[in-house]
């Protein structure tokens, strides 16, 4: 499941109930995926700058649409029983929360992850599969921090997903379901 050496040293198995109790008592955050608990690594400066830039850039447009950007302290629970802390979660409408020995959001519309070399395969694979089990989930955005590159997956009306990649200085992040576009110079301000 976790092929990258740096990443695989930071996971272990436990039941869902054990995870919830462990997470409630822990000062360090962990994600839960299919009986695997994954320690959350600290973010790089580039990661933090991209998160800040995207939240600040999207927030005015999101507010006009009844949506809001949430940071990485919000835990998301999927029907497939994954619990994760996305870098950015976009919530449209009223939050649906469950008390999982600490609150978890169950209805994000868009999830944005900033990729690092140690988590890219996981974020692009198993994590995405779990997010797909959320009925309100419409778009998944992956932003590279070491090059100007964005991958966007969009749910189609028939339930299938399309994949798009944008690369280079002129790239734009378009959240199609919300009609919002953010240019590369905003996303990568202070990074490149």
| pLDDT, tens only, 35-66 | 888 887 778 899 999 999 999 999 999 999 99
Structure tokens at 11: 């996971």
What SS3 string covers 151-174?
A: EEEEECCCCCEEEEEEECCCCEEE
Q: What is the pLDDT at residue 45?
A: 93
Sequence-distant (≥ 6) Cβ neighbours of residue 114 within 8 angstroms: 43, 47, 50, 51, 87, 143, 145
Q: What is the pLDDT at residue 40?
A: 78
* Other beta carbons within 10 Å of 181: 14
Sequence-distant (≥ 6) Cβ neighbours of residue 127 within 8 angstroms: 33, 82, 84, 113
Q: What is the pLDDT at residue 10?
A: 63
The rounded distance, in Å, linking the Cα atoms of 68 and 60 is: 9
- Does some domain include residue 67? yes
- Does some domain include residue 181? yes
- Does some domain include residue 8? no
- Does some domain include residue 117? yes
Q: What is the pLDDT at residue 168?
A: 87
Q: What is the pLDDT at residue 132?
A: 96
| pLDDT, tens only, 102-151 | 789 999 999 999 998 878 888 898 899 999 999 999 999 999 999 999 99
- Does some domain include residue 152? yes
- What pLDDT band is residue 7 in, cutting at 50, 70 and 90? very low
| pLDDT, tens only, 166-182 | 998 889 999 999 999 99
Q: Domain range holding 137?
A: 43-187
- Does some domain include residue 93? yes
- Does some domain include residue 129? yes
The residue ranking higher by pLDDT, 24 or 8, is 24
Domain count, the chain: 1
Distance of CA 136 to the CA centre of its chain: 14
CATH code, domain carrying 61: 3.90.1570.10
- Does some domain include residue 9? no
Chain mean pLDDT for the chain: 90
């Amino acid at each position: 499941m976790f092929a990258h050496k740096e990443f695989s040293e930071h996971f272990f198995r436990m039941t869902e109930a054990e995870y919830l109790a462990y997470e409630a008592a822990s000062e360090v955050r962990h994600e839960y995926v299919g009986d695997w608990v994954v320690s959350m690594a600290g973010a790089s400066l580039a990661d933090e700058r991209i998160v800040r830039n995207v939240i600040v850039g999207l927030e005015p447009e999101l507010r006009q649409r009844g949506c809001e950007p949430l940071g990485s302290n919000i835990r998301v629970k999927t029907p497939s029983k994954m619990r994760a802390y996305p870098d950015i979660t976009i919530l449209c409408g009223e939050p649906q929360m469950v008390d999982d020995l600490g609150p978890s959001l169950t209805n994000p519309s868009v999830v944005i992850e900033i990729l690092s070399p140690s988590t890219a395969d996981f974020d692009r694979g198993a994590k995405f599969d779990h997010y797909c089990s959320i009925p309100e989930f419409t778009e998944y955005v992956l932003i590279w921090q070491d090059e100007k590159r964005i991958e966007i997956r969009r749910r189609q009306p028939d339930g299938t997903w399309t994949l798009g990649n944008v690369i280079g200085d002129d790239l734009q992040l378009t959240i199609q379901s919300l009609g919002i576009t953010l240019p590369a110079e905003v996303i990568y301000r202070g990074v490149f």
